[in-house]
Structure 1
Amino acid sequence: MEIRDTGAEDLEEVIRLTSATRRQLAASSPVYFRPREGADVAHAQFLEFVVGSSDQQASVFVINDSVVGFFRQADLPKHVWVDDLCLRDPGLWNEAARTLVECMGSTSWVTCVSPHDADRLDALSSAGLAPISMYWSKSLPSSPSMLETEEAPTVPEDRPAGPTHTFGGIAFDPGAPGALVACDPEGNYAIGSPDVEPPIYDPGGPTCVVDQLGGPDRGVALDLGHSAATARGDAQLVVVSAADDEELRYELETKGFEIQVVLLASQRR
């Protein structure tokens, strides 16, 4: 197996591979990965742009001149994000993972995997990647929450630095326009993203991603984030937890959240 740059002649097969992967994701997570209407067309247009751009890096896995897989690289502030990673045959994941790790060399990089995709997860782990975080989701009720938050919340100034175990490698800024910020007088707080609507997936409406839950009781902090996102009209709440954070894992499982994505990182990160 080899890796080479994607050419225009590969585009049709790459579109077929990525479309098949989205269908597999939707089958295992029908809400989180539900394709938005027109997703295939929109993503095909995006891939055509990526392949034709000198500023983007897109690659294919090749066996005997036949394209068997695809991935692209996005340069983010702290690392490279390997996205749209897909293969024609799940039986090729072990070889593809080793080849990908060799190709990336000393680059610090991350990629995301569905927890339902055991072949991919096991192969990437065996090739040397390690889980650094999980993304948990829960659909939100359409009616406002009864839990009240401050009208002008301020999070504790002495709170810990935000996490780096995210797609971008940096935490959400509570002072950014539209950021979700919820706290209580006891010092519990939740910090998350502005409401976002993924261009390819449609979980039923806007999504809020919370990457910081702090204070003396993170179960209460989680409730604060849930309430604030519901009141804002978000359809889905996604919470990022460190892979080894058993305390938060317990709170998330107890309150009905499910793991949708495992974020893996190279050992050089």
Structure 2
Amino acid sequence: MKTKCLSIFFFCSIALVLSNNPVFSQDSEWVTVNGIAPIENVTKNEARKMAIANARREAVEKVVGVDILSETMVINYHVSGDVIRTIPHGKVIGQEIIKEEIELIPAKDKGEAPYLAYKVTMRANVIKEKGQIDVFFRLEAELNRTVFKEGDLIEIRVTPSRDCYLSIFNILEDETAIILFPNRFKQNNFVKANTSFAFPDDMDRKRGITLEAFLGEGKEKVDEIIHILALKEPLHFNTAKFKEGIFGIYDGRSAMVNDLVKNIVGIPLSHRAEKFIQYRITK
């Protein structure tokens, strides 16, 4: 996505880091897991990212348990820049890849052919979340569409079931997290229950603020995520770290998804609701 304000545009990039916070070291657990992804109709690099995503999911299930429903946030339709939000009661906050290789997976049944797969062995640091989800605290959210042509305008609409403080992030396929709302023009992010909130709205558009689908140089398609976070209490994100995607030329130094996870994970499950909307941009 490219955010337009007064004809100024930006784009950005990111890398994954581990947490050195002592809180995480006390409440988290390192596990060693494998992730496998077939190299079928995808590139080697795409299969690698799929394997890493599968390993992260396996890590959370290993620490938290497989009896809990999983919610997975994956960028690029399991192809590129995979981001795992995984099980609501556990999050991956760090990882170390130990080994990666291509394996020939033998056929399981008669008549099936063996296939090549990308295999990743990794150590993952998983933190367990505490508390119970408030089942009555929900978000209804949608985009004006899920597939955009480059240059199309993207619109976000959100309706919370409870009074809340709303934050909206754009997660790029390289795992960069940019904050869209609140911003310097709209600092009050309180939204009443069952009220429809739109971004950008008519007032934003009058200021010249739009969300424009943007591919980036040399790309045929990209997949990104809109991450919507609703909290019962206000939380101010460090704008020196999480760059605002509203005004100015972005300098490429915003925080990562892992940084966002670390900001959120300490909030009790009963005090937050989240929604992830994936969309694709094509030529």
TM-score range, shorter chain: under 0.3
Tell me the TM-score normalised to structure 2 length.
0.27
Q: Which has the higher helix share?
A: 1
Tell me the TM-score normalised to structure 1 length.
0.27
Q: Which has the higher strand share?
A: 2
